[in-house]
Amino acid sequence: MFGNYYIYDSISPLADLLKTQLGFSDANIGLLNAIYSFPNIIMVLVGGIIIDRIGTRKAVLIFTTLVMLGSLLTAIKGDIFVMAAGRLLFGLGAESMIVAITTIIARWFKGKELSFAFGLNLTLARLGSFMALNSPMWAKSYYNYWQNPLWISVYAGISALVFIAIYYFVDLASSKKYELPPEGNQDKV
């Protein structure tokens, strides 16, 4: 969740650099922030269905890959259309990734542990936002060129993907060794 929220909030601190170095307008910067939400009008519902069909393990890996690839596409080229496509791709994976991670937490934690686990998850997410929004302070040397801070976002996305890959194999091994609720095929409503 840290990586997801870091990537989401990485554009705002770049606004001045995007304006001066790439000639972006306020509308362009608004587009980069808003286009993330567009696919999630429907994708969160579709993502939930995907999670139920293929299981959380595979789904969270797919969604986190989209998050990382979206951050990479955003950082690759200073063209509004390419960057917007990256943010759109990021948006395709990000909210469904949140749903999948919430499902994972509900599978692994019960009772009083569940609330703490949800709280810890949100703490990590908000830490990602905090770090991104304050990156001009702690990563000041990166703010001489518009692309450099976005590479930090890419590293956050890669880190998220590495942690999800570790989870994938830990969960796979654990489900063979311990009695866990079935992955995917959650309770039917």
Tell whether 185 is covered by a domain. no
Q: What confidence tier does 183 reach under pLDDT thresholds 50, 70, 90? A: low
CATH number at residue 48: 1.20.1250.20
Closest C-alpha among 159, 122, 153 to residue 135:
153
Which residue range forms the structural domain that includes residue 71?
2-177
Calpha distance 152→50 (Å, rounded): 30
Tell whether 186 is covered by a domain. no
Tell whether 59 is covered by a domain. yes
pTM: 0.88
Tell whether 77 is covered by a domain. yes
The domain total for the chain is 1
- Write down the pLDDT at residue 184: 54
Tell whether 87 is covered by a domain. yes
Tell whether 182 is covered by a domain. no
3-state helix, strand, coil in the chain (%, to 5): 80, 0, 20
Tell whether 108 is covered by a domain. yes
- For 104-124, what is each residue's pLDDT tens digit? 999 889 888 999 999 999 999
